[in-house]
């Protein structure tokens, strides 16, 4: 059964969403990430994907206060990403209440460092962010494209024992135009041991149903929540009622 994970993206302490990673397209949906997180928890969700968009842009963690406040106010299991570039960033993130850290750009540009973190913190606490455009990895807030092929990138970390891969199809993100089910099915076929977290494009319940039918274990979704194109109560009833939301 698919596990849906709501997302909160933060710029200057506020909940925002972008379209295809374009910072000029930002829309503010709430001044209080904490209130939003509490809403998710009240509906029965126990996971949260928290993204520091300022951090992704400025190459270091910025919105640590929002993480601390949400961790203090809820019991949500938070995975935090955006701007994690140094050992100090990693320490801050975990000390501030995140259970998992999502490493994207650095996983492409400094794989030896990330390998050390995998060894230090364990595969249960590291999510590798595979942000892709046209089959290649994109980095630094999706502003730069790499010459690294998506499948080669995933293989390099699966071979190190990494379980969680968060794959975002940038062309779909924030567009409310459906997900890249075909791509996610390819990943699952190539890497059946992968606990894939799909991301980008969820617009309605049928998108979640399609992912579930394709055998995708997790999905992160955000804009559909804030644009009210999806009913969170219905999502919780269908996908959370009969199971405890725990990664395996």
pLDDT digits (tens, 9 = 90+) for 127-186: 999 999 989 998 866 667 888 999 999 999 999 999 999 999 887 665 666 789 999 999
Active site residue 54: no
Reported confidence tier of residue 205, pLDDT bands at 50, 70, 90 = very high
The pLDDT score that the predictor gives to residue 84 is 95
Give the rounded percent of residues in the chain with a pLDDT score beyond 70. 93
The pLDDT score that the predictor gives to residue 135 is 92
User: Does the pLDDT of residue 248 top 50, yes or no?
Assistant: no
The pLDDT score that the predictor gives to residue 140 is 67
| Range 177-204 burial, b when 16+ CB lie within 10 A, else e | eebbbebbeebbeebeebbbbbbbbbbe
The pLDDT score that the predictor gives to residue 174 is 58
User: Does the pLDDT of residue 38 top 80, yes or no?
Assistant: yes
Mean pLDDT of 212-217: 96
Specify whether the CB–CB gap between 205 and 236 falls below 8 A.
no
Q: How far apart are CA 201 and CA 209, in angstroms?
A: 13
The correct answer on CATH 1.10.3720.10 for the domain covering 3-239 is no
Report domain extents, the chain: 3-239
Mean pLDDT of 33-44: 97
Report which secondary-structure segment, H or E, holds 239: helix 232-239
User: Does the pLDDT of residue 244 top 60, yes or no?
Assistant: no
The pLDDT score that the predictor gives to residue 178 is 78
Q: How far apart are CA 14 and CA 9, in angstroms?
A: 8
Between helix 111-121 and helix 150-158 the angle, nearest 10°, is: 40
The residue written with tokens 């319940």 in the block is 205
Find the catalytic residue in 52, 54, 79, 131: 131
pLDDT in tens, 40-88: 999 999 999 999 999 988 889 999 999 999 999 999 999 999 999 999 9
The pLDDT score that the predictor gives to residue 243 is 53
Mean pLDDT of 113-133: 96
Burial label for 120, CB within 10 Å (0-12, 13-18, 19+), is: exposed
Q: How far apart are CA 126 and CA 99, in angstroms?
A: 9
Query: What's the pTM value of the predicted model, to 2 decimals?
Result: 0.92
Active site residue 152: no
């Amino acid at each position: 059964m698919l596990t849906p994970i709501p997302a909160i993206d933060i710029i200057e302490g506020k909940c925002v969403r972008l379209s295809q990673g374009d910072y000029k397209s930002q829309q503010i949906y709430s001044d209080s990430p904490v209130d939003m997180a509490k809403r998710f928890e009240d509906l029965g969700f126990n996971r949260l994907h928290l993204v520091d968009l300022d951090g992704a842009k400025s190459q270091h963690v910025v919105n640590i206060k929002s993480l601390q406040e949400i961790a203090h106010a809820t019991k949500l299991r938070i995975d935090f990403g955006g701007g994690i570039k140094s050992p100090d960033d990693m320490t801050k993130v975990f000390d501030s209440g995140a259970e998992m850290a999502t490493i994207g750009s650095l996983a492409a540009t400094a794989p030896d460092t990330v390998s050390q973190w995998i060894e230090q913190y364990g595969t249960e606490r590291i999510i590798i962010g595979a942000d892709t455009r046209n089959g290649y990895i994109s980095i630094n807030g999706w502003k730069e494209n790499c010459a690294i092929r998506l499948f080669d990138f995933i293989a390099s970390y699966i071979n190190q024992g990494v379980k969680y891969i968060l794959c975002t199809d940038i062309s779909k993100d924030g567009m409310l135009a459906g997900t890249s089910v075909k791509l996610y099915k390819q990943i699952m076929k190539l890497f059946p041991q992968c606990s894939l977290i799909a991301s980008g494009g969820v617009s309605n319940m049928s998108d979640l149903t399609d992912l579930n039918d394709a055998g995708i274990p997790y999905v992160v979704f955000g804009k559909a929540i804030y644009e009210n194109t999806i009913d969170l109560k219905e999502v919780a009833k269908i996908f959370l009622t009969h199971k405890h939301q725990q990664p395996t």
